[in-house]
Chains A and B, each alone.
Chain A
Amino acid sequence: MNEFILILPTLIVLVGALVLMLLSMYEKISTKTNIVATSLFLVLALVFSLINISSSYSVQAYEGFLHNVLTFDSFSNFFNTILILGTLLTVLIGESYFRNRDYFKGEFFSLILFALFGMMILTQSNELITAFIALEIASFAVYIMVGFNQDNSKRIEALFKYLVLGAFVGAFFLLGLVLVYGAVVSTSFTDIKVYIDNASVNDLVLVYIGLTLILFTFLFKIAAFPFQSWLLDVYQGAPMIVTAFMASTFKISIFAFFLRLIIDTISPIFDFWDGLLTIVVLVTLVIGTWLAITQEKVKRMLAASSIVHTGYILMAFVALTYENTQIANIDVSHSIMFYLLAYMLAALGSFGLISQINSKSVIRVTFSDFNGLAKQRPFYALMLTIFLLSLAGIPGTIGFIGKLYVFTETIKAGYILIAILAIIATIISIYYYFRLIAAMYFYDAKDECEIQNFNEKNISNYAVAFIAIATVIGGIGSAIIFFIPTLSIDTITNLTNIAIQSLFIK
């Protein structure tokens, strides 16, 4: 296989980021041009990542040049495709939001591409230092993006909270890395794996401590207990569209990296963290649910509910078990990947649509601000309903299939109590999601929330509609509507299967 094609998507994104950075010096270039340029780079990268999506491979391209720090395999390609798609959709949905706010200058688009670049490197990294650098590239870009909203007095608080805590927790990663290095004398995943396979229990102490510290960074970035406290304020202070990006795309890259680390490298000792992770899952579900039902602002409710979804995904992580030199139930990882895709669509859709609604002059913040939206903008209300139903896991949406996979696998692995608690969290989630649907459909709109001058035909609306359709098709698939050929649910499952298999090609 031509090695150059493999690195092309990452390269295109990097070049795009640099080009846009240079262009941002010229004030005259309009936001529209920036959006078009960004989208073009992303589409190009997407095309090249899609070429290899259904083939199984694992290549360390340009060994002499890259020193094996990056692995290009179906796994990273699968996630890169999702990440590029997520970024592209973020830019497209944000189109009217960006254009209605002066502060989104050229830099912003350069930053979002840098963030994407960092995330792509993260999913491809084959050793810890590269992973750390990639994580920081992505994180720093996101830190700045969080602070972009000059209209919001909360942005300083959000930015600093995230920056300081993020940098602090990043230090844990470094410390963990050092400890692992201390034991293994290498940071390469391959070496770590060999060391773990051959080491006695006493030799592993440093590795355990080091990896636990790295796990903390992971938990922080995905906002699991006990590191969830930053999330509400940061999501609240960030521009809506950046929140969408963080909740969906950024989170996925972190999960992707750790999925690789767990399945590929530390699987023999991963069960060590089961007890810890079980507690993390349980408390994350409880806290996330509690936060979600107590919020009055829709954005904060969605942010809090993203903690609950983190809990569901972590639940599947707990379900991964190791037996006889390999992960016994590899199907769990398919379910995690499917769920990530499902959550990305729903989160991007819901956050993006709300940003879209907010991008006009009238701001809708609390539940009651959304009253009567269905009468004013039936299509917005319908689409938001689809996303909320998907988040709640109602049949007919991709969220249901995602839940189906994750719950089946969790039960199969024997964690029935966690599954029961997660079901209870789901029942409660129906309350806060349906409350928003109720607000949109069952009340009359407030006078001050009347919408004027709504432009129906812009790119953002088409992007949201696209996600809504994908959400429904992902939940129904081709079998039920068998007289209309569409992508079936199994196609996605097969892709995840190919992606996971590539981790074991050596």
Chain B
Amino acid sequence: MNQLILSFIIFLPAIVALGLMITTKEVKTVRNISFVTTTVVLALALKLFMDYEANSSMQFVVNTPWIESYGINYYLGLDGFSLTILMMIAILIPSSYLFLWEKENKSYFINMLLVQTGVTGALLSLDIVLFYFFWELMLIPIFLMIGMYGSGDKVATTLKVTIYTMAGSLFMLLAIFYLGMSYFNEFGSWSFAYNDLAKITSLDSSTKMWLFLAFLFAFAIKIPLFPVHTWIMATYKNAPTGAVFILSSIMAKLGIYAVIRFLIPIFPEEVALYSTELVAVGIFGMIYFGVAALTQEDVKRMFAYSSASHLSFIAAGVFSLTSYGLNGALYLIMAHAIATGALFLLVGNIQDQTGTKKIKELGGIAKKAPILTFIFAIMLFSNVGLPGTSGFVSEFLIIFGVFQFNIYLGIIAALSVIIGASYMLWMFQRAILQDRDESLGELKMKDLKIKEILALTPWIVLIFVMGFFPDIFTNIYEPTVSSYLQNILQIGATK
């Protein structure tokens, strides 16, 4: 059973999606079955969580040949890194279904299922071609979702985001081929398993540099890091709520995850060599996107920048190559997914009800929708790192890690958190709390429905549990982090 459980988690949504596509036209049936499917996946993920032994090894490994002639295997496995993110995906997706319950469209739900397969597949792949397979596959449903349910110039937007991200990954593909070939030349057999590729020693430093850049380019686009972030604005603005939620909460995290899983193990010297620059890019991105967020008049765009800002921050934590930085990054991956995901869902809800997402045209929401305001506030506080929330622990850890890495960058990182707090709270004050401008007329808005509240309740609980008892979570991946630093970077876990 444990042999098959990873495959079930990956393929169940896709199989159900294909079945639904063929058999039924009824939106409600599709939605209900999809929701049940995602909860089954959650149950399976929980079982994995229970069976997982907190040590640094790869567990539940499946390794069967896929394309034997090139040594490409169906190679899956799970460690602390992937388990953390798997749990996050498995919890977030069913809740988002619950929240998006009223979307009267069949293919919306089917596409969400397909995305889940792509994302978990990429997450659990240990063979880099298999990873690429899922990595590209998850884009297609996103492409369809934006094109079908987006707003504004949705077709141009969806083409742009698809070409942009695929361009990045195609150069990565080229680098993957090159690595596979180098492995073949050195060892006489083909392999695309990441731990095999990490053994290659025959490459000279300039070739390695180019390959490193190709990988970095692909992952940086997905995260997105400055300066390859330009696709996010139009996308987050025009994409439907579900797609924005997936892009920011889940797919961007896979960009970070790919850095940890593939980039650092295969190119440890390059990462170590350029870590100062990479951390600096992360922190610069954090400030740059933060300042950009300050000037936005549109709530969704502000969140888009804020999300990019936090993701840069996570990247800075990862590239600091310290235990604190890496722990904090993993923690912030979860915290950010919950808080930002929920905020995007809530803004989507506000937009659907009021027809606007301009800060000026909102206001007075607190009176009309107190529950929404309350939840909004919790997510916001977590996002700005208020003590007692998950955001605080993660930001603290990352800043600590960056301090350890370089004291000046650390100071800048610490200060830049203030920017985040200021635009968030300012927006909250203007759009939600303050009374509505009378010239705008009556605000047509209802509070959250029971289903929507239910959908977000686990997230709220998680925020506080993660805020007050971080050990519960860090214990899961701490062994992986320390052995990772020791084995791959030959850095003592204490540093």
Query: Contact residues of A with B, CB < 8 Å?
Result: 334, 382, 389, 394-396, 400-401, 404-405, 407-408, 411-412, 416, 419-420, 423, 426-427, 430-431, 434-435, 437-438, 441-443, 477, 479-483, 489-490, 493-494
Contacts and interface: CB of A to CB of B under 8 A. Distances in A.
Given A426-B170, A427-B166, A401 B159 contact: no
B63 to A, nearest CB: 10
Given A412-B184, A438-B155, A441-B147, A423 B174 contact: yes
* B70, B74, B135 — most chain A CB neighbours (10 Å): B70
A479 B140 CA distance: 22
24 contacts: A334-B69, A382-B21, A389-B140, A394-B140, A395-B134, A404-B67, A404-B70, A404-B177, A407-B177, A411-B178, A411-B181, A423-B173, A430-B162, A431-B159, A441-B148, A442-B147, A442-B148, A442-B154, A443-B155, A477-B66, A479-B65, A480-B74, A483-B7, A490-B67
B189 to A, nearest CB: 13
Contacts of B181: 408, 411-412
Nearest to B135: A395
Contact of A493 (B69, B73, B74, B166): B69
A433 to B, nearest CB: 10
Query: What 3 pairs between A and B have smallest CB-CB spacing?
Result: A479-B66, A442-B147, A395-B133
Contact of B155 (A334, A442, A483): A442
Nearest to B133: A395
Contacts of B184: 412
A334 B68 CA distance: 14
Interface residues on B, range: 35 or more
Contact of A408 (B159, B162, B180): B180
Contact of A435 (B65, B132, B136, B159): B159
A278 to B, nearest CB: 18
Given A396-B133, A404-B70, A420-B174, 5 more contacts: A426-B170, A435-B159, A441-B144, A442-B148, A442-B158
B192 to A, nearest CB: 10
B171 interface: yes
A43 B91 CA distance: 52
Nearest to B130: A480
B403 to A, nearest CB: 41
A395 B140 CA distance: 10
Contacts of B171: 423
Contacts of A437: 143
B24 interface: no
A405 B72 CA distance: 12
Contact of A489 (B67, B133, B137): B67
Contacts of A481: 11
Contact of A434 (B68, B134, B162): B162
Contact of A411 (B65, B70, B174): B174
Contact of A430 (B7, B155, B166, B173): B166
Nearest to A419: B174
Contacts of B180: 408
Interface string B57-79: 00000001111111001100000
B129 interface: yes
A477 B173 CA distance: 20
A427 B170 contact: yes
Nearest to A378: B21
B140 to A, nearest CB: 7
A416 B211 CA distance: 12
Contacts of A389: 140
B172 to A, nearest CB: 10
B64 A482 contact: yes
A480 B6 CA distance: 12
Contacts of B74: 479-480, 482
Nearest to A422: B174
B170 A438 contact: no
B203 interface: no
B163 interface: yes
Given A395-B132, A401-B67, A490-B65, A438 B147 contact: yes
Residue of B69, B158, B163, B173 contacting most chain A CB atoms (<10 Å) = B69
Contacts of B178: 411, 416
B129 A404 contact: yes
Interface in B414-451: none
B33 interface: no
A385 B341 CA distance: 30
B132 A479 contact: no
Contacts of B66: 477, 479-480, 489
Interface in B143-198: 143-144, 147-148, 154-155, 158-159, 162-163, 166-167, 170-171, 173-174, 177-178, 180-181, 184
Contacts of A493: 67-69
B167 A427 contact: yes
Contact of A423 (B155, B159, B170): B170
Contacts of A438: 147, 155, 158-159
A471 to B, nearest CB: 14
B137 A430 contact: no
B448 to A, nearest CB: 31
A427 B136 CA distance: 13
B163 A427 contact: yes
A407 B174 CA distance: 8
B177 A411 contact: yes
Contacts of B134: 395
Contacts of B163: 427, 430-431, 434
A427 B164 CA distance: 9
Nearest to A490: B68
B308 to A, nearest CB: 23
Contacts of B174: 407, 411, 419-420, 423
Contacts of A407: 173-174, 177
A491 B107 CA distance: 35
A427 to B, nearest CB: 5
Nearest to A489: B67
A477 B129 CA distance: 14
Interface in B104-143: 129, 132-137, 140, 143
Contacts of A427: 163, 166-167, 170
Contact of A395 (B11, B68, B136, B148): B136
Interface centre among B11, B166, B184 (most CB of A within 10 A): B166
A437 B159 CA distance: 10
Nearest to A394: B136
Nearest to A428: B163
B159 A396 contact: no
Contacts of A412: 181, 184
A396 to B, nearest CB: 5
Nearest to A426: B170
Contacts of B129: 404
Contacts of A420: 174
A105 B26 CA distance: 45
Contacts of A423: 170-171, 173-174
B276 to A, nearest CB: 29
A8 B139 CA distance: 48
A493 B72 CA distance: 13
A297 to B, nearest CB: 19
B348 to A, nearest CB: 20
A396 B144 CA distance: 16
A441 B177 CA distance: 33
A408 B144 contact: no
B74 to A, nearest CB: 5
A430 B11 CA distance: 26
Contacts of B67: 401, 404, 477, 479, 489-490, 493
A275 to B, nearest CB: 23
A341 to B, nearest CB: 15
B90 to A, nearest CB: 21
A440 to B, nearest CB: 10
Contacts of B133: 395-396, 400
Contacts of A441: 144, 147-148
A420 B178 CA distance: 11
A146 B89 CA distance: 54
